[in-house]
Structure 1
Amino acid sequence: MSDNIHVATFIGKVEGLKAASLHAQYFEEYLYLSKYVETLKIITDTVITNETTLPSNVEIIKLPKIGIPKIYGATKIAFYSLYPILKKNEIDILYVRTFSPPELSAIWLSKIIADLPSILVLPGTWLFGHPSESRGKEKFYRWFLRRALDHADKIVLYSRLMLPEVLLYHDKLDTTKITYIHNAVNVDRFSPHGEVSEYVINLKRDYRKCLLYVGRVNEKKGVGDLIDAFYIVNKQLNDVILLIIGSGPEKYLREITKRIKDYKLEDKVFLLGPIPNRDIPSFIRASDLVVYATREGEGIPRAILEAMACGKPAVATRVAGIPDAVINGLTGYLVEPRNPKELAEKILKLIKDDELLRKMGSNARKHIEKEFSYQVVVQSIAQLLKDLAK
């Protein structure tokens, strides 16, 4: 049942679930949101492919794109800001789910010029780099961020645990504008039942358990810590494999590959690169638990939620909003960041106990259904949009 509100939002690329990026998940989430609004305009400057039949109330607005490196950013800011202003009679509210400077500029310029209300979602606690970083580029981007935070009518954080770090970027932020709504996952697509990856099953043929990481492969995500922890695990149990799905900087990938080789784990650790989002559920179902060693700068990582929705427990670091999803001792285990030894201990505790693995996986699924599903979270977003658009 839709409410009579007209919403505009943004996305970096329209590329469907064949893509391996967050754009695919955001687009899927927007289509679910469209059930609750009269019209939804999805603004972008890049349409790669869209294999989905759009609902009749959804329109993709493809803005001009000037692909000259030195002026692309400035022209994108201009186009993204101008569209809502020029179409203010067709838009009741802006919903900003991605926060690059073009979307951020659209919030504050649309408010100043057209008095358009807006909701800004902050998906993490590293907003254009670590809080201590203050180089030219970061300063420039954070200037846009502070303008948007000041002019947004509501700011959504995934967890109360994120607030202290967010305030490091804007210590004068009006915290009365903040509301807390979790990140969300499609529990119909990510479920314990469905296709299982034959690729993973074949890899597991000679092994007992499979650990899985999905996300960016970089230092901030603690992938090196994960490799170190797996080395400890492998010394105790040599029938376990680790799959790492995701892309990262070439230099870091070379470092990780060398570390795997130095540990003589080439036949146990598999760097699979990016995989289309539509295939991720089958990889999760074929694995036994998800591991997440991120060091800092998170919200509530969607990859953890997706694995838990598929009935897999998580061993993850106690960073930002992760404890809202990974309830220590119930849906998985929490460990301190940068502590491979503790991470390995919790992994071993789970994979040595099949009944505990099954029980925590079942608890994880129930927890996601109750608090992180599209049905729960997107309805909350829709209600917030409706309240502000009145």
Structure 2
Amino acid sequence: MRICITRSSRFAYSETFIRDQINGIAQWAEVHTLHSGRLPEKKEDGSPLNSKLFWVLHKLVKGFLGRNNYFGEYGIKKYLKEHKIEVVLANYGMPAAHMAPICKKMGIPLIAIFHGHDATDKKLLATYKDKYIRLFQDAHYTIAVSEEMKKRLLIAGAVPEKLVLIPYGVDINKFKPIESNAIKNTFLAVGRFAGKKGPMYTIRAFSKVLLRFPQAKLVMVGGKTGLYEECAKLVSELGIQDSVEFTGILNSEQVAQKMSEALAFVQHSLTASNGDMEGTPLGILEASASALPVVSTLHGGIKEAIIHNETGYLVEEKDENAMADFMIKLLEDPERAQQMGINGRKHISKNYHQETQIRKIYDLAASTIKN
């Protein structure tokens, strides 16, 4: 089977789930990838799909008509035809909406995969309202990564019988518990400093933990963009610089090592002011696979990934006091924390095994060709 997988960016450090998707499906099919832009402009090696002349003409015509056109679509159509693509997997709703009319014209099945903001951002949903309706009608399947996202997509007009739930998977061989006799007092947070990840709520909750356990540590992994400056300023204002570490971007192996050194994983996910929500945060799945208890919020796919009182603790969004209380509870009872981590790994192994989840996407793609 020849599959084309599209994505809006090739090297986005936060999109390991798409790179895993590509590598996983490549075990069973011939995979081609296109990237850069909501309407892909480049091949996997970075070379353009269109000539400079066609690219300029596309931008000019799009500026005049307000939509994609022959010049922008030419290179994509040529690529799909030359490589005899049998099915397209489009990551994110916006690129999928732009790929839908192309695939329809060429008679190539399309599967749209939504991940988070593409299904929840209010402005984006308003802008793409009509395009999404056409996408839902023309796509062979639409994939949501959480039950909450399924509900949102149905409200946006998704066709129920074409809507499939496939959460992300985790490589449980990479993210696994490592035996250690060291006394752990570190809380780990991994992710972009984005509004919907609530990093400032996490910091304020941690500052309350320090009043009870002054030796506790908070390690925050993520690129120093977005709300990073505000977070660094908050840490300084609270006078807890010696207890908080900002590592910057780390690769997956380094993140796995940090997880092996932590007591628990923390992330205060919430609905941003623009409506943007998480799908199912990969960092939380990786932490649970690493046998870390998770303290997070009743938000998006987290409500399915973490079982309250069994694999971690979930609080209402913006309730930093409750978050602090549960972090303190884990420090007070490390044996309980360890057992919750063990429960979490079992839950991930059963419901979020990476190969199993990626295989579901592949099987769905294969079914579109068979049918």
Structure 1 length-normalised TM: 0.80
Matched, 1:236 2:212: yes
Q: Residue 64 of structure 1 corresponds to which residue in structure 2?
A: 48
Shift of 1:63: 4.5
Work out whether residues 80 and 106 of structure 1, in 8 Å CA contact, stay in contact via their aligned partners in 2.
Answer: no
Alignment counterpart, residue 40 of structure 1, candidates 31, 34, 43: 31
Task: State the shift of 1:313 in Å.
Answer: 1.4
Number of the residue aligned with 1:327: 307
Distance in 2 between the 1:230 and 1:328 partners? Answer: 20
CA shift, 1:90, in A, is 0.8
Cα distance change on mapping 1:315 and 1:337 into 2, 3 Å: same
Secondary structure, counterpart of 2:346 in structure 1: helix
Name the amino acid aligned to 2:151.
P
Aligned CA distance change for structure 1 residues 329 and 81 (closer, same or farther; 3 Å): farther
- What residue in structure 1 maps to residue 267 of structure 2? 292
AA at the equivalent of 1:36: W
Note the C-alpha offset of 1:143: 4.7
- The answer as to whether partners of 1:289 and 1:312 remain within 8 angstroms in 2 is yes
From 188, 213, 230, the counterpart of 1:212? 188
Q: Distance in 2 between matches of 1:80 and 1:34?
A: 28
Structure 1 residue 108: deviation in Å?
Answer: 3.0
Residues 12/175 of structure 1: CA separation in 2 closer, same or farther (3 Å cut): same
Which residues in structure 2 correspond to 1:168-317 (within 5 Å)? Answer: 168=155, 170=156, 172-193=157-178, 208-247=184-223, 249=225, 252-296=227-271, 297-317=277-297
Q: Secondary structure at the match of 1:148?
A: helix
Which shifted more, 153-162 or 78-87? Answer: 78-87
Question: Which one is further off, 70-79 or 230-239?
Answer: 70-79
Q: What's the counterpart of residue 326 of structure 2?
A: 346
Question: How many pairs does the alignment contain?
Answer: 349
Partner of 1:201: none
Residue 163 of structure 1 corresponds to 150
* Long gaps (5+) in structure 2: 38-42, 272-276
* 3-state SS of 2:196 partner: coil
Change (3 A) 1:386 1:347: same
Code of the aligned partner of 1:20: Y
Q: Distance in 2 between matches of 1:266 and 1:287?
A: 18
RMSD between aligned alpha carbons?
A: 3.1
1:130 aligns with 2:107: no
- Offset of residue 99 of structure 1: 3.9
- Cα pair distance change 1:210/1:320, threshold 3 Å: same
Letter in 1 for 2:208: I
Q: Give how far 1:45 is off.
A: 4.9
